[in-house]
Amino acid sequence: MSLESTHRNLLLRAGVYERKYARLFRAILIDQYNKASQAYPNAYIVDPNDYRDVLFKLYAEVLPREAQHAWDDYVKPLTNDQKDIIDDIVSFLGLSTPEGELIRIWREASRSWLNINILSKIRGLAETTQKAIAKVIENALNDEDGTSIDYIRRTIEKEAKGEVNKSRAMLIARTETMTAMSKGRRLSMLSSNIEWEKKWIDTPDNRTRVSHRYIALEDYRPLLDPYTLNIPRTGGTEECQHPSDPILSAGNVIQCRCSESFRPMRDSSGRPIKRTQSYDDFVNII
């Protein structure tokens, strides 16, 4: 399968997840706005934990499923390389490991990674919602009827189901989906016992960031080597391990639709190179 086809199929899967979880995130936002309306004129503090369950559900579903897709796309086909060494390849690739055990490993790694990173994620979401609600109230206060408590409450309730929250719910779902998919694909490569190289794959349209187009022109590099991206509007640079990596600034993550392609590193005989380093804790490297 070509790089273009693999990337296109990934985006199709991403679209299904995004639409599913956008509905759930929108329901959270609507509920938070309605609570803010009921609390007004008293202060309403957005609870970060409102987002916790949906985020866990998203990562628990998307990350291991995408790990399975990557395994099927990149690892399994290696057994077709050279029929005379198929037993050797199967043994050191880990293909003899039951798929149920691999899925368990991927799910456990997903939960462990999110347990470490969940707090910063939900706090960031809550802070953005808090600011958005405050802006709605500020704008309403500047209206002619802004002195009316009932008017402010109705305005917040109207915005709850408005286009801004609809768009933001999709943005959250897309960002987290693409992060989960990238983590899953990377975890899949790390789960095999050979050395891999990776390449950044962009979506070839005018919505793709210029810095992402440029990095996609670069050749394959070792799996653990970082990419270096330009930071939008600052002139600086930053490193990451994969598209939608949470360590990137918002300007390089939000709405990103890039992915990665992988290929095995090979010895002089064309055989996949067996990895010598042991990865006992996937959480720190995915």
Kindly tell me if the per-residue pLDDT of 2 is higher than 90: no
Which pLDDT value is given to residue 93? 57
Provide the b/e sequence for 269-284 (b: ≥16 CB within 10 Å). eebbebbeeeeeebbe
Widest Cα–Cα separation across the chain = 82
Q: How do the domains of the chain map onto residue ranges?
A: 3-284
Parallel, antiparallel or unpaired: strands 196-201 and 221-222: antiparallel
What is the residue type of 79? T
List, for residues 75-132, the tens digit of each pLDDT value: 888 876 555 444 555 555 555 566 677 888 889 889 999 999 999 999 999 999 999 9
Query: Which band of pLDDT confidence, cut at 50, 70 and 90, is reported for residue 195?
Result: very high
Burial degree of 236 (CB within 10 A; 0-12, 13-18, 19+)? exposed
Residues 169-196, mean pLDDT to the nearest whole number: 94
Which pLDDT value is given to residue 85? 47
List, for residues 126-172, the tens digit of each pLDDT value: 999 999 999 999 999 988 766 789 999 999 999 999 999 999 999 99
List, for residues 206-253, the tens digit of each pLDDT value: 889 999 999 999 999 999 999 999 988 777 999 999 999 999 999 999
Q: Which residues contact 283 (CB under 8 A, 6 or more apart)?
A: 109, 112, 113, 116
List, for residues 254-275, the tens digit of each pLDDT value: 989 999 999 999 999 888 888 8
Which pLDDT value is given to residue 262? 97
Handedness of CA 39, 40, 45, 47 (dihedral sign): positive
pTM above 0.75, yes or no: yes
Which pLDDT value is given to residue 279? 66
Kindly tell me if the per-residue pLDDT of 24 is higher than 90: yes
Spatial contact of 177 and 58, defined as CB atoms under 8 Å apart? yes
Which pLDDT value is given to residue 36? 98
Q: Which residues contact 252 (CB under 8 A, 6 or more apart)?
A: 209, 211, 212, 229, 231, 232, 238, 240
Query: Closest Cα partner for 10 from 56, 67, 54?
Result: 67
Which pLDDT value is given to residue 76? 84
- Percent of the chain surpassing pLDDT 90: 69
Highest mean pLDDT among 70-79, 179-188, 275-284: 179-188
Taking the C-alpha atoms of residue 22 and residue 174, their distance in angstroms, rounded to an integer, is 8
CB atoms within 10 A of CB 1: 9
Residues 67-77, mean pLDDT to the nearest whole number: 91
Which pLDDT value is given to residue 184? 95
Which pLDDT value is given to residue 102? 83
Kindly tell me if the per-residue pLDDT of 280 is higher than 70: no
Q: Is the peptide bond before 204 cis (omega within 30 degrees of 0)?
A: no
Pairwise pLDDT comparison (38 vs 232), residue with the higher score: 38
